[in-house]
Structure 1
Amino acid sequence: MENNYTMIAKSLYGFEQELAKELRHLGAMDVKPGVRHVSFVGDKGFMYKANLSLRTAISILKPIFDFKIFNEEDFYKAIYNYPWENLIDKNGTFAVESTVNSEIFTHSRYVVFRAKDAIVDRFRDKFETRPNIDTDNPDCVVNVHIDRSDCAIALNSSGEPLFKRGYKSATNIAPINEVLAAGLLMKSGWDGQCDFLDPMCGSGTLLIEAAMIACRIPANINREKFAFQKWQDFDEDLFAIITESALKKVRSFNFTIKGYDKAPSAVEKAQTNVENANLSEFIKVERQDFFESFKTTERHLHMVFNPPYGVRLDIDIPKFYAKIGDTLKQNYPGTSAWFIVADLEAIKHVGLRPSRKIKLYNAKLESRFLQYEIYEGSKKAKKNIDS
């Protein structure tokens, strides 16, 4: 137990429960959901596993100290007095990131500059030399979180956000964030035990995340690096064992995962990203206009998609969303259809009553994640059968 410590997994608003469930499934202890984060306890090996496997985490932070601040001098002194030489080589590199909610500091960039100054000044005073700033590939990423007078300092073990999975080399105008995509799939109940369709697949993110969930492939297996790999205490052999253990949990998939898009360029980009993720054997991408398509399987179909909102793509909202509802109702019996929409007025034009409506945010856009159950025959007939 002495090797365990508290960590924080940051996430998107509304996905804290999914992240907490993931952490418990991985074996984390003392899991506590918060707002846009979940705290948990584990050891170094678990930190490696969390970075490699979590689908709804943006980063994994290792807290190192916290303190109260009442003015800028308090902040500078506390940062200066910490023994950074135990974590950062004097000839190495580091970067600082910050989240600020405070009347003392009103600009997060200023907090970054003051923290950098304090760390650099300590090295200069003690060693007459200093580590360099590297925002692209630093040896150490220092995370500063200020909430009113509370300041928490942590190391970001992930480095680049974990939604940068490593498989996406081609994107469209409005690509969906990989963490958001995985979270939507998990909220929809997708578990890989039926056929799947994304009828407006764009660059293929939902398809790839769906296949990785279905096959239990670690979310970040395609990443080239994590920040902890540059830490002085990085255990390469332990990381190799953790990776091998995660890959042993991969399972076969006996259903179909399909993606449609009417734009040839989108189909090409999706296929490229699927190949990058080494998932071509599981995913088929076709050029197809959803509004002219029909369900191609007699089995139950699980559908999740991210239709245009009219924000970055110019569409006729009422007409477009009415066609979504008509296509689902007429052409997709026996389907559980989910989609996310940021134009809340658009929901009225679908012409179907959603069975679930979940409030979320897509970037800064308040959105709804909607479920429509399209039954074989009428809903009334379905109820009679069930009864």
Structure 2
Amino acid sequence: MGNNFKMVAKTLYGFEELLAKELRNLGAMNVQTGIRNVSFEGDTGFMYKANLCLRTAIKIIKPINSFLVNDEHELYKKIYAMDWSPYLSVDTTFAIDATVNSDNFTHALYVSQKTKDAIVDKFRDQEGKRPDVDIKTPDMRINIHIQKDQCNVALDSSGASLHHRGYRTATNIAPINEVLAAGLLLHSGWNGQCDFLDPMCGSGTMLTEAAMIACNIPANINRKGFAFEKWSDFDEDLYEKIVSSSLQKTREFHHKIIGYDKAPSAIEKAKDNVANANLSDYIEIEQQNFFDSEKFTKNHLHMVFNPPYGERLNIEMEEFYASIGNTLKRQYPGTDAWFITSNLEALKFVGLRPSRKIKVFNSHLESKLVKYVMYEGSKKGKYIEKDKA
């Protein structure tokens, strides 16, 4: 317990409770949700495990200081006053990431520059040399967040956003973010206990994330690296133990995960990405137009997909969304169908009443994750669940 420290996991809007649940399941202490973030406590090994295993986190940062600040001169003085020697030396490189939401500070780039100046001036004054800035691959990435007059300084243990899983090398016109895909799957209740279909699979991200959840494979097992691996106190043996322990918790999957897409180019990209994730044994991908398809199983089917919104793909929205509803009604009894859209007007043409609506964001687009329950037998085509939105 004495070695525990506070960390903050950043996430997407609407995924805070999902992330908090993930953290508790991993063993985090003192988990508290914020807006697009969840704070928690753990030791160094847990920091490694959080980066490796969390599906809905974008970054894991380690706060090291917090203070009030009213202008750039005060920011410079307080950053300069900090002891940077535990984190940096004249031989390490660093980069600053800043976000600001303040009347006193309006330009994040300027805050980054003042922070950089204070750090390099401190080293130059004390040691006669200064560490270099490396924006692309620094040894240490420092996070500055100014909210009104509160400045929080943290170390970024992740590096590149954790949605960069490492398996996706080929994408289509409008690929879905891996963290977004995982969060949508978790919101839908997907746990690998039945057959799964993504009927518009694109480059296969939803399929891959679904398989990783079903098999309890660590989300970032295919990633090339994390920022903490360049830290001076990085414990490689401990990290290898964390990886080994996490892989021992994987499980077998005894159902089908299938993806359709009508574009041959998408099929090839999806197969490549699935192969990169070492999941080809668990995922089948077929060239198929969803609107001409039928349910492939007599058992319950879980469906999650990301249809075109009309933002970057030119389609006739009214006809397209009507076809989604008709296909579900006629061809997919015994199915829980979930999909995300930012085109809220187009939802009217589905012709079904969603039983759930969850507000999420796809990049900058406010969207809804909607659920349609298609019943078996005499209830086929009925969708009487009360709207919870």
TM-score, with length taken from structure 2: 0.97
Q: Which amino acid aligns with 1:356?
A: R
Large movers: runs of 4+ above 4 Å: 380-384
Task: Look up the match of 1:13.
Answer: 13
> How far, CA to CA, are the matches of 1:141 and 1:196 in structure 2?
39
Task: Look up the match of 1:118.
Answer: 118
> How far, CA to CA, are the matches of 1:279 and 1:380 in structure 2?
34
Task: Look up the match of 2:81.
Answer: 81
The verdict on how the C-alpha distance between 1:346 and 1:383 changes in structure 2, with shifts beyond 3 A counting, is closer
> How far, CA to CA, are the matches of 1:331 and 1:252 in structure 2?
29
Q: Taking every aligned residue pair, what percent have the same amino acid on both sides?
A: 62
> How far, CA to CA, are the matches of 1:268 and 1:108 in structure 2?
41
Task: Look up the match of 1:294.
Answer: 294
Q: Which is worse superposed, 10-19 or 359-368?
A: 359-368
1:329 aligns with 2:336: no
CA deviation after TM superposition for structure 1 residue 70, in Å: 1.1
CA deviation after TM superposition for structure 1 residue 231, in Å: 0.4
SS in 1 for 2:345: helix
- Unpaired segments of 5 or more residues in structure 2? 385-389
> How far, CA to CA, are the matches of 1:370 and 1:310 in structure 2?
17
CA deviation after TM superposition for structure 1 residue 343, in Å: 0.7
Task: Look up the match of 1:369.
Answer: 369
CA offsets 1:32-82 (integer angstroms, 9 cap, x no match): 011000000100000000000000000001000000001111111111111
Q: How does 1:213-252 map to 2 (within 5 A)?
A: 213-252=213-252
> How far, CA to CA, are the matches of 2:312 and 2:184 in structure 1?
21
1:268 aligns with 2:271: no
CA deviation after TM superposition for structure 1 residue 85, in Å: 2.2
> How far, CA to CA, are the matches of 1:129 and 1:150 in structure 2?
31
CA deviation after TM superposition for structure 1 residue 378, in Å: 4.0
Q: Which amino acid aligns with 1:124?
A: R
Task: Look up the match of 1:354.
Answer: 354
CA offsets 1:119-142 (integer angstroms, 9 cap, x no match): 111111111111111111110000
Task: Look up the match of 1:159.
Answer: 159
Task: Look up the match of 2:310.
Answer: 310
> How far, CA to CA, are the matches of 2:26 and 2:69 in structure 1?
36
Q: Which amino acid aligns with 1:46?
A: F
> How far, CA to CA, are the matches of 1:129 and 1:222 in structure 2?
38
Q: Which amino acid aligns with 1:15?
A: F
Q: How does 1:107-256 map to 2 (within 5 A)?
A: 107-256=107-256
> How far, CA to CA, are the matches of 2:64 and 2:162 in structure 1?
21
> How far, CA to CA, are the matches of 2:130 and 2:85 in structure 1?
10
Q: How does 1:9-88 map to 2 (within 5 A)?
A: 9-88=9-88
> How far, CA to CA, are the matches of 2:97 and 2:383 in structure 1?
54
The verdict on how the C-alpha distance between 1:374 and 1:142 changes in structure 2, with shifts beyond 3 A counting, is same
> How far, CA to CA, are the matches of 1:265 and 1:89 in structure 2?
48
CA deviation after TM superposition for structure 1 residue 377, in Å: 2.8
Contact 1:9–1:61, Cα closer than 8 Å, also in 2: yes
> How far, CA to CA, are the matches of 2:14 and 2:110 in structure 1?
29
> How far, CA to CA, are the matches of 1:306 and 1:2 in structure 2?
45
Q: Which amino acid aligns with 2:113?
A: F
CA offsets 1:97-120 (integer angstroms, 9 cap, x no match): 011101111011111111111111
CA offsets 1:251-299 (integer angstroms, 9 cap, x no match): 0000000000000110000000000000000001111110111101101
> How far, CA to CA, are the matches of 1:270 and 1:383 in structure 2?
32
SS in 2 for 1:371: strand
CA RMSD of aligned residues (A): 1.3
- Unpaired segments of 5 or more residues in structure 1? none
TM-score, with length taken from structure 1: 0.98
> How far, CA to CA, are the matches of 1:76 and 1:337 in structure 2?
53
The verdict on how the C-alpha distance between 1:266 and 1:380 changes in structure 2, with shifts beyond 3 A counting, is closer
Task: Look up the match of 2:282.
Answer: 282
SS in 2 for 1:344: coil
CA deviation after TM superposition for structure 1 residue 248, in Å: 0.3
CA deviation after TM superposition for structure 1 residue 383, in Å: 10
Q: Which amino acid aligns with 1:95?
A: A
Q: Which amino acid aligns with 2:242?
A: I
CA deviation after TM superposition for structure 1 residue 382, in Å: 8.3
Q: Which amino acid aligns with 2:259?
A: G
Contact 1:376–1:382, Cα closer than 8 Å, also in 2: no
Contact 1:304–1:337, Cα closer than 8 Å, also in 2: yes
> How far, CA to CA, are the matches of 2:162 and 2:378 in structure 1?
43
